[in-house]
Amino acid sequence: MEEILKLQQKIVPELIELLEKRYNILRTIYYNQPIGRRILANQLDLGERVVRTEINFLKSQNLIDINTPGMTVTEEGEEIIDKLKSFIHEIKGLSEIESIIKTTLGLKNVIIVPGDMDEDKTVIKEIGRAAANFLKVTLKSGHTIALTGGSTIKEVIDNFPKMNNIEEVLVVPARGGMGRNVETQANTLAANLSKKTNGSYKMLHVPDNISDRILDSILNERDIKDVLDSIKNADVLIYGIGKAEEMAVKRGMDPEKVENIVDKGAVGEAFGCYFDKKGSLVCSTSSVGVTLSDTKRIPIRIAVAGGASKADAIISTEFGNDNSTLITDEGAARGLMEIIKKEL
């Protein structure tokens, strides 16, 4: 199979390019349906004439329907998307890249989906689906899951299927709340995931980035201690990765402190901890929840992040985490490869 793909790329490279283009069009329609032709062209950065030609082809193959509200993918089209995933994965050489990143960073596993979230926002849904599928096959009865908030983690939960073959799963937020968007906060996501696992959940009603004086007082509360015990004994940790400066601002860190951690070389952030390019801890925010030492004891870590701009952040948070599975996109993966070639 691999040899045939290499021959195709050498002899008929235009065939591979056309296949990728049609796959991307079909996938974009699927994640945004119903969608109009002009919006589709803008999202894919393609000319309307090109899109019109490809849409006519996909319609003739019964892969999409065109109605007044917009275009939608047919059942046959959905099957094609699923079947093409592994093929696109191979022709882009992503299996080899997964292996290199896994070995170089010392990770347990690496899963890459095609595309770049920075350029195509629908790729976040592919990352979410890949992470949800991994969690599905990993999760066992009696497991405790700790998870952080954020839009990428929300996609994981949204794509997670209803499971009736497991029981006594407990879901807890890994950190205190951050930001004003309730839909992407860890408490909300923990409650949503528990419904899909027929399990239970606990909430952590504590804001992130609070003063040490208030934090000490909160830690003495019985309900808080109960949640913290569950977090420390978690079997699975699901978390996003952010760029250090951006996340520090989002967490309401003092501007002077933001400048200080950047000056110290912080490039990546995960679960309230800020790391430099070598993976060393620069600082951590004052909050109730999972600590860096806690994560070392959690047997299954699932890191979820995408976009070429996240490459530095991913290396800083994931280097040497042998209990971690990284689920990312092609954009971030190729960025990681550039860093590996130059610096590692």
Classify each residue of 47-76 as buried b or exposed e, where b means 16 or more C-beta atoms within 10 Å of its C-beta.
eeeebeebbeebeeeebbbeeeebbbbeee
Q: Cβ contacts of residue 140 below 8 Å, gap of 6+?
A: 166, 235
Band (pLDDT 50/70/90 cuts) for residue 290 is confident
Q: How far is CA 201 from CA 205, 239, 341, in A?
A: 13, 17, 43
Task: Dump the DSSP string for 123-160.
Answer: HHHHHHHHHHHHHHHH--TT-EEEE--SHHHHHHHHHP
Q: Is 239 within 8 Å of 321 (Cβ atoms)?
A: no
* Model pLDDT for residues 60-104, shown as the tens digit of each residue: 999 999 999 999 999 999 999 988 888 888 888 899 999 999 999
Q: Cβ contacts of residue 143 below 8 Å, gap of 6+?
A: 166, 169, 170, 235, 236
* Amino acid (one-letter) located at 178: M
Query: What is the CB neighbour count within 10 angstroms for residue 234?
Result: 25
The mean of the pLDDT values for the chain is 88
CATH numbers and ranges of domains, the chain: 2-90 (1.10.10.10), 92-343 (3.40.50.1360)
Task: Dump the DSSP string for 159-182.
Answer: HPPP--S----EEEESB-B-SS-G
* Model pLDDT for residues 107-153, shown as the tens digit of each residue: 999 999 999 999 888 899 999 999 999 999 999 999 999 999 999 99
pTM: 0.87
Task: Dump the DSSP string for 12-41.
Answer: -HHHHHHHHHHHHHHHHHHHH-SB-HHHHH
239 bridge partner residues: 303
- Determine the pLDDT at residue 17: 82
Q: Which residue has the tokens 């599905």?
A: 136
Q: Which residue has the higher pLDDT, 219 or 87?
A: 87
Task: Dump the DSSP string for 43-93.
Answer: HHT--HHHHHHHHHHHHHTTSEEEETTEEEE-HHHHHHHHHHHHHHHHHTT
Q: How far apart are CA 95 and CA 110, in angstroms?
A: 9
Q: Which residue has the higher pLDDT, 217 or 333?
A: 333
